[in-house]
Each structure stands twice: as structure tokens, then as C-alpha cells.
Amino acid sequence: MDLRQKIAKSLDDGPLGIAVIGIIILYLISLTLETLPSLQEYKSVFETLELLFTGIFVCEFLMRMIVYTKPIKYVFSFFGIVDIVSIVPALFGTNLMAVRVFRLLRIFKLFRSKRMNQAVTRISNALIEIRTDLLLFCSIVLILLYFSAVGIYLFENEVQPEIFSSIPAAMWWAVATLTTVGYGDAYPITTGGKIFTSIITILGIGIIAIPTGLISAALTRSKNKDDKKEQD
């Protein structure tokens, strides 16, 4: 294995790759702290750090282009596009918030890790395996959401016309209640509405448990398959 191959391997799944992940985490910390009102006086420091991080990511991208045997293929790959889109706005000095959002794509660079890739692949395989069940579940949820919106509209429209003015308006309440979030901005005041809400909330708890169980079982099967392949 020559030097280029060693560097490429290290970038993908080695010390250099771990260093890049650490730098990405530091960048995210810096980006988060930059938004604190109490730290606005250090704006110049954060701008300097932004330039430093951008320089490191540019060097990383150029290094990959040099050591990879098929650099053009990398440029048009998912991670290559992420690198380019997250770097270009900073290189041109564009600091508009709408453009800076693209820099957040750097977080996807964390998925270069071999273990992270294996985890993502395992989740993808699990979701593909139960896609029919999930599709059926989503259909049931949509029907139940509509039923909930219609039900609460019938109970509460007359006494709260400003909140439950229509079935589409009641849909927000249905989503918040069925997911057991309950923001409290829309709630029933009639006896029938309260009883109906109690039933929907209990159903919501059960609905959340169904996909959790399906995905957990599928992930377990996927992991067992991977372990069996490694043993073989």
C-alpha cells in the first residue's frame, strides 16, 4: 500500500477521519456559541474561527482529490457535493443567513465514519424490510387524524368557533393530541370534547408504540444478519 492509499484510508476510516470529525464538532460548537447574545462582542473571534475551519475543510477536500484514485467520481458523490456546497459560500465571503445554512451541510460529513455508515445502512435496510407495514401504519394514522379533527370539530365548534372554526383548523389539534404533544393552544371545554380527547390521547400512546416496535424488531433482525455474515 503506497502513501496515497494510506492517506485515503486514514481519511475514510482512520486517524485523519477521526480528526476531521473532531473539527466538525468544534465547528458546530462555535456556530452555536456565535448565536448567544452575550457573546456578540466576540464576533470577530468567531469570524476568524469560521475562516480557520473553512481553510481546514478546503485542505481536506483538496487532499481527498489528490489521494483518491477517482477524484472526479468523488466530486459527484454525495459527500463530494456536501463538501463543495458547504465550502463555496464561505470562500466567496457570503455571510447571508440563507446562504450560511448550506454550511450546516458539514454535519453530514460525520457520516463518513465506517461505524456511522454501518448504522445508517442497517437502519435503511430495516426500514426497507418493513416498508409495507409502515405504509399501512401511515394510512391508518392519516385516517385517524381526519377522524379526530372531525370529532373535535363537532364537539367544540359551537362553543369555540374561533379555535375550531373548521375541520382543517381542527387538524392542528388532532396532530398535537394524537402525538401526545399537547401544546395547550387548543383544547376542549365541553364534556363530550374532553372525553373524546381522552380517547384520542390514549390511542396516540398506542400509535407511537407500533412503529417503535416494528423498527426495533427490524433493526434486531438486520443486526443479526450482519453478525452472521461476519462470522461466516
Per-residue pLDDT tens over the stretch 191-207 = 999 999 999 888 888 88
Residue whose C-alpha is closest to residue 56's, from 32, 79, 86, 29: 86
Provide, rounded to the nearest whole percent, the portion of the chain with pLDDT above 90. Answer: 21
Residue 150: its pLDDT value, please? 94
**Cβ–Cβ contacts within 10 Å for residue 191, how many?**
9
User: What domains lie within the chain, and their CATH numbers?
Assistant: 3-112 (1.20.120.350), 126-231 (1.10.287.70)
pLDDT at 151 over 90: yes
Residue 191: its pLDDT value, please? 93
Residue 98: its pLDDT value, please? 55
Residue 93: its pLDDT value, please? 59
- Can you spell out the DSSP letters for the chain? --HHHHHHHHHHHSHHHHHHHHHHHHHHHHHHHHT-GGGGGGHHHHHHHHHHHHHHHHHHHHHHHHH-S-HHHHHTSHHHHHHHHHHHHHHTT---HHHHGGGGGGGGGGGGSHHHHHHHHHHHHHHHHTHHHHHHHHHHHHHHHHHHHHHHHHHHTTT-TTTS-SHHHHHHHHHHHHTT---SSS---SHHHHHHHHHHHHHHHHHHHHHHHHHHHHHHHHHHHHHHHHH-
Per-residue pLDDT tens over the stretch 76-122 = 888 888 888 888 776 665 555 555 666 777 777 777 776 777 777 78
pLDDT at 123 over 80: yes
Q: How confident is the model over 62-76, as a mean pLDDT?
A: 90
